Structure formats: structure tokens, C-alpha cells
Chain A
Amino acid sequence: EAGVAQSPRYKIIEKRQSVAFWCNPISGHATLYWYQQILGQGPKLLIQFQNNGVVDDSQLPKDRFSAERLKGVDSTLKIQPAKLEDSAVYLCASSPNWASYEQYFGPGTRLTVT
């Protein structure tokens, strides 16, 4: 079974530029999460989708971050404009369903904002 795929693996941009990350969850997984992991800290949830609907986006900085999962499969996370403090690893995770409580993580995208 293929795992969670993410691209790109690394991205370097200048502040005020925009960037997008892509995630393809495990086939059949209804729930998808985006986490932000700042160096030296544990991952922090940005947004959770159930199929193509948002379950929790309370910690998403909506003035600059947006995410979508239009067909309930792949997801895209966008930052526009980026700030220095957005430098982090962005992790995508998927779960069979909302109640399974077991999340499978992708390799992450390491973003550096200069």
C-alpha cells in the first residue's frame, strides 16, 4: 500500500512570495490533516478535512494560509504572502475515517523563507 505522498520535499522562497504544497493521501482515506512543525517543536494542526469538507481550521492563519481538498482526495496548502516565521516542515497525514484516531504521515515539505 502506497503511503502519503507530498511534494515538493524542499522549497526555498523569499518573504512576501507565495508557495503551494501538495498532498496525496493513502487511497480510500477520508480524513486529511495538515500540520506545521517548527524546528524543535512538535507538529501543530493547521487544518483537518473530512472528505472535501473542513472539520477544524481554528489554528489556520487565514489571512495568509489557505487549503483545499476539492474532490475529497488530493489537497493543496497555500501560503500567500510568506513570512520568515513560516519556515517549518509542513506535514500531511491521512486517516481512514474521522473516528479511527490513527494517522499516517507523509515525509513533509521543508519550507525555508529568506
Chain B
Amino acid sequence: AQKVTQAQTEISVVEKEDVTLDCVYETRDTTYYLFWYKQPPSGELVFLIRRNSFDEQNEISGRYSWNFQKSTSSFNFTITASQVVDSAVYFCALSESNQAGTALIFGKGTTLSVSS
């Protein structure tokens, strides 16, 4: 069965620290997509990145970077030089190509608190 595990429930850092959010997934499909979403206190889910299972290249976008490793079924997210505005709940999600729909399967989320 498909499953996404975010073992870190809460992380607290001080501004300018680097922080890595872990995500481990389970799937029997060979074609799938992985996502990260940010949910600030306002509640709206903000899309950050999508990765397909055939593209293991790491990606960097400004202070954000993602490390996808199929060998360990992990898709970790690193924020470099964290800022207070990064405080939010971050969700990792999985979508498979062979299920009836294309709904996202979310982890339980990691709450990141960045203090000044």
C-alpha cells in the first residue's frame, strides 16, 4: 500500500540555520510522483515541487533544495539559511499513476518553527 512517513513531527531552529525535513515513502508502482507542499498559518496549501520517479536529479530553488533517492525511498527537503517566514507545516505527498485517480497521499506533516 502507498504510504508517506514524515518522522519529524516538530522542528525548531533559529534564523539562518539550515534545516532538513525528512520524507520516506512506500509504493509498489514504478511510476509515481512526489511532492512537497507548505501550509502556513493561513491554512492554504502552497505547492513547492513535484518530482517524477524517473528523475533522481537533485533540485535547488533559491534557499530550497530537494534530495530524491530511490534506493532509500526518500525525498528530503532542505531549507538553507532559514527565515521566520519559513515557519509553517510542510507536507510530503505521493501520487501514483496506476490508481483510479490522481489523488495525493500525504504524510502527517512536519511543523517548522523558525525563531529570530
Q: A interface vs B, CB < 8 Å?
A: 31, 33, 35, 40-45, 48, 55-56, 58, 89, 91, 93, 95, 98-99, 101-108, 110
Q: Are B103 and A42 in contact, with the CB atoms below 8 A?
A: no
Question: What CA separation (Å) do A89 and B43 show in the bound complex?
Answer: 9
The A/B interface has a contact count, at CB < 8 Å, of 60
Contacts of B45 in A (CB 8 A): 43, 91, 93, 105
Contact between A44 and B106 (Cβ–Cβ < 8 Å)? yes
Which chain A residues lie closer than 8 Å to B43 at the CB level? 89, 107-108, 110
If A45-B103, A48-B101, A91-B45 touch, whether A102 touches B109 (CB-CB below 8 Å) is no
Asked if B102 contacts A40 (CB within 8 A), the reply is: no
In the complex, the 8 A-B pairs of residues with the closest C-beta atoms, listed nearest first: A42-B106, A56-B101, A45-B103, A105-B45, A48-B101, A55-B101, A56-B100, A107-B44
Q: Does B104 contact A45, Cβ atoms closer than 8 Å?
A: yes
CB pairs A–B below 8 angstroms (10 shown): A41-B108, A41-B109, A42-B4, A42-B107, A43-B45, A45-B105, A95-B102, A104-B47, A107-B43, A108-B43
